[in-house]
């Protein structure tokens, strides 16, 4: 069967050349006589993979030297607990801007560990916007400000950052890391599950300013302590070795195509193809306010549940798959991560045009 255009929100499409390279190295990596999957995480060959993966990410994101990169497990979801455990000080409190399901989870976990101040929320309109920064009242004793930079489910994203003064910003970039050029030095922590723009599920990337790590209580369980992972260069226990190797291949692919600045141009082009069509369509409507539209997760609907369901079903027949919106949002969602080729989006727009003619 031919490969489809996979618009899944995650785990998501990977570059075909990466999958082919991995397939070619499946039985034997270099001259090792074994697959990366079968290799000790302490072997020199795997240590090289680990070091190269980190170096590639540092170069791609221009990560300053006073930041630590960690390859962890437990998904972005574990970070909703691990970050407050490590970064909350005696104040035991953090600020958050509530923009959807992923900040809801961060609030829920944070409240088990301390006090969470919800500075603003876009829940009143189904998270169709990012709240204005104008009236935000940052708490002077907040240990950090948590934001979700790109809202995977509802399809919004930040365009600028709030300015909480000396309070570090912790950003969940699970669904947008490496899609645009970010200035890492503006953040205290950036974290992301891999399964959208990085590689297969199983590895979580945490980029953390080193001075923040000093806050962690020494009595934290080892696996939950950023310092333990940093001291052991993410090899405190067996890391998700194959997911890390796949991430390395994706980073090489991104480097070879010109890096983040180049992919950002392509991402803007892909998103514009879809949004421009939606804006001119009489059938489809975008779900979120134009100003805050995500480059990665494009959400839209026809306004009719039946027609939306038919659209998703018919698209599937044309090898345009996983276009149903999240169950809490309804409608459609096209996730167009870095690895989604421009042709995939073009095919989707062509299909939408035909569907519109048939069902207007
Ligand atoms: N944050 C965001 C923005 C996400 O999109 C997701 C997963 N879709 C998560 C957190 C949770 O990630 P995980 O499943 O890796 O725990």
**Sequence ranges of the domains in the chain:** 17-256, 259-359
What's the pLDDT at 275? 98
Task: Tell how far the Cα of 248 is from the centroid of ligand 1, in angstroms.
Answer: 20
Give the integer Cα–Cα distance in Å for 181 and 160.
12
The ligand 1 atom nearest the CA atom of 78 = 16
The ligand 1 atom nearest the CA atom of 153 = 5
The token duo for 185 is 């030095």
Which class in CATH covers the domain with range 17-256? alpha beta
Neighbours of 343 (CB within 10 A): 9
For residue 260, count CB atoms less than 10 angstroms from its CB and return exposed for 0-12, middle for 13-18, buried for 19 or more.
buried
What's the pLDDT at 1? 64
What's the pLDDT at 318? 97
Residues designated catalytic: 102, 172, 196
Provide residues with CB under 6 Å of ligand 1: 10, 75-77, 102, 148, 152, 172, 174-175, 193
The ligand 1 atom nearest the CA atom of 195 = 15
Give the integer Cα–Cα distance in Å for 153 and 35.
36
**Ordered DSSP codes for 138-183:** --TT-S-EEEESEETTTTEE-SS----TTSPEEEE-TTTTTTS---
Closest CA to 197 of 63, 299, 347, 340: 340
Probe residue for ligand 1, chosen from 76, 153, 333 as the CB with the greatest number of ligand atoms within 8 Å? 76
Helix ranges (H only) for 196-340 are 210-213, 226-231, 241-256, 259-280, 305-317
The ligand 1 atom nearest the CA atom of 204 = 15
The token duo for 316 is 């599937």
Contact predicate 133/145, CB 8 Å: no
Cα distances from 105 to residues 80, 111, 114, 169, in angstroms, run: 7, 10, 14, 17
Task: Tell how far the Cα of 101 is from the centroid of ligand 1, in angstroms.
Answer: 9
Task: Tell how far the Cα of 358 is from the centroid of ligand 1, in angstroms.
Answer: 36
Q: What residue owns the CA closest to ligand 1's atom 9?
A: 76
Probe residue for ligand 1, chosen from 75, 78, 157 as the CB with the greatest number of ligand atoms within 8 Å? 75
| Domain 259-359, CATH number (from 3.90.420.10, 2.40.160.60, 3.40.640.10, 3.90.1150.10) | 3.90.1150.10
Q: What residue owns the CA closest to ligand 1's atom 5?
A: 152
Task: Tell how far the Cα of 193 is from the centroid of ligand 1, in angstroms.
Answer: 6
Probe residue for ligand 1, chosen from 102, 150, 206 as the CB with the greatest number of ligand atoms within 8 Å? 102
The token duo for 52 is 């190269």
Q: Split the chain (360 residues) into runs of 10 and give each run's mean pLDDT.
A: 93 98 97 97 97 98 98 98 95 97 98 98 98 96 98 98 97 98 98 97 98 94 98 97 98 98 98 98 98 98 97 98 95 98 98 96
Q: What residue owns the CA closest to ligand 1's atom 14?
A: 75
Which helix (H) or strand (E) covers residue 204, if one does? Answer: strand 204-209
Parallel/antiparallel/unpaired status of strands 156-157 and 189-193: unpaired
Q: What residue owns the CA closest to ligand 1's atom 10?
A: 76
The token duo for 238 is 């067996």
> Residues near 239 by Cβ (< 8 Å), separated by ≥ 6?
41, 50, 71, 73, 203
Task: Tell how far the Cα of 174 is from the centroid of ligand 1, in angstroms.
Answer: 6
What's the pLDDT at 360? 79
Q: Which residue has the tokens 């876009």?
A: 122
DSSP 3-state assignment of 77?
helix
pTM attached to this predicted model: 0.98
The ligand 1 atom nearest the CA atom of 194 = 15
The dihedral through the CA atoms of 184, 188, 191, 196 has a sign that is: negative
Task: Tell how far the Cα of 102 is from the centroid of ligand 1, in angstroms.
Answer: 7
Task: Check whether the bond before 11 is cis (ω within 30° of 0).
Answer: yes
Task: Tell how far the Cα of 197 is from the centroid of ligand 1, in angstroms.
Answer: 12
């Amino acid at each position: 069967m031919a490969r489809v255009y996979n618009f899944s929100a995650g785990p998501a499409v990977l570059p075909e050349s990466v999958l082919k390279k991995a397939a070619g190295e499946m039985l034997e990596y270099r001259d090792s006589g074994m697959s990366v999957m079968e290799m000790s995480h302490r072997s020199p060959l795997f240590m090289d993979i680990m070091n190269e993966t980190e170096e590639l990410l540092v170069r791609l994101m221009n990560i300053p030297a006073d930041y630590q990169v960690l390859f962890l497990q437990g998904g972005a979801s574990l970070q909703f607990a691990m970050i407050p455990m490590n970064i909350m000080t005696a104040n035991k409190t953090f600020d958050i801007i509530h923009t959807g399901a992923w900040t809801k989870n961060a609030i829920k976990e944070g409240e088990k560990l301390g006090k969470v101040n919800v500075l603003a929320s876009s829940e009143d309109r189904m998270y169709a916007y990012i709240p204005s920064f104008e009236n935000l009242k940052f708490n002077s004793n907040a240990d950090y400000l948590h934001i979700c930079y790109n809202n995977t489910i509802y399809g919004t994203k930040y365009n600028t950052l709030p300015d909480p003064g000396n309070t570090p910003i912790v950003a969940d970039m699970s669904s947008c890391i490496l899609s645009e050029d970010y200035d890492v030095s503006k953040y205290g922590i950036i974290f992301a599950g891999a399964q959208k723009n990085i590689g297969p599920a199983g590895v979580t990337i945490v980029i953390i300013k080193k001075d923040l790590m000093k806050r962690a209580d020494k009595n934290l369980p080892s696996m939950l302590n950023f310092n333990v992972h940093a001291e052991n260069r993410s090899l405190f226990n067996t890391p998700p070795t194959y997911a890390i190797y796949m991430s390395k291949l994706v980073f090489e692919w991104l480097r070879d195509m010109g890096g983040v600045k180049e992919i950002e141009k392509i991402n803007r082009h892909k998103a514009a193809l879809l949004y421009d069509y939606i804006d001119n369509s009489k059938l489809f409507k975008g779900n979120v306010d134009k100003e805050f539209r995500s480059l990665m997760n494009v959400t839209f609907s026809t306004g009719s549940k039946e027609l939306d369901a038919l659209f998703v079903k018919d698209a599937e027949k044309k090898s345009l798959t996983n276009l149903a919106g999240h169950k809490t949002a309804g409608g459609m969602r096209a996730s167009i991560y870095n690895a989604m080729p421009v042709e995939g989006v073009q095919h989707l727009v062509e299909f939408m045009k035909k569907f519109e003619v048939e069902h207007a």
